[in-house]
Amino acid sequence: MSADLTGRRALVTGSSRNLGAEVARVLADRGCTVAVTYHSSRAEADALVEQLRADTGGEHVAVRADLSTPAGVAPMVADAVAGLGGPVEVLVNNHGPFSMTPFAELDPQEYAAVMDGNLTATYLAVREVAAGMRSGGWGRVVNLSAGSAWLRNHSVYGLAKSALGTLTESLALELGPQITVNAVAPGQIAESAPDVAAIDPTFVDRAIGRTPAGRLVTRREVAEVVAMLCTPPFDLLTGAVLPLDGGWRFNRF
């Protein structure tokens, strides 16, 4: 069964750098034409698009997306459709702001920003692309959750990522059979370890020590799974949340 996505049009939110950029690269490698989105890092988005064009020959595009407000979702999708030359067929919801502020200290505006960025933006993006996917008879949505969905020390971020699993299941029920909706939930990503270490110098070693696989997942590994979920071998997988954490989430006694 083919893992090729040649000719498919993909939109990846939050994709000018880090994990989103790696997802864009893998989808482009598999044959997608990709809309790379950015909020303020236009130069990074343009550089990535140029790299993708040089590597694949595809007409990839950069699209500005202000997902800090629900009003920014529809213009993002409209610009992606215009740039790609047709409806979005693969949607990867990678955008998702983070917070570790304790609930007892959490400002309502910060709470809303994290919930809206992880959940509201996701449902609105799906709403904007669903009609085009249905009219074409095929669509794939992959949401980026996180290992924090199973933890209870990441404040509103864990709440948002846990709720994203329920949203994924509900959308899968609603949008089948033409559209599958799944989620990928990475544990701590290796390339982001230095950022976490700046907050908690002991975190990375503790995370690896509690991971049966003995190491952290990489951006490339996450991106490969995201892309594979859009290919024929996974046509019957929908409503699933796949943890890519090496077993980190398991409680121990």
In angstroms, the CA 185 to CA 39 distance is 23
Q: Is 157 a catalytic residue?
A: yes
In angstroms, the CA 45 to CA 62 distance is 6
SS (H, E, C) 40-61: CCHHHHHHHHHHHHHHHCCCCE
The token pair at 168 is: 């994924």
In angstroms, the CA 96 to CA 41 distance is 16
Which residue's entry shows tokens 């202000």? 66
Task: Reply yes or no: is the peptide bond before residue 75 cis, omega within 30 of 0.
Answer: no
Among 38, 111, 123, 157, the one annotated catalytic = 157
Torsion of CA 58, 64, 70, 74, to 10 degrees: -50
Closest CA to 90 of 184, 10, 7, 180: 10
Active-site positions read 157
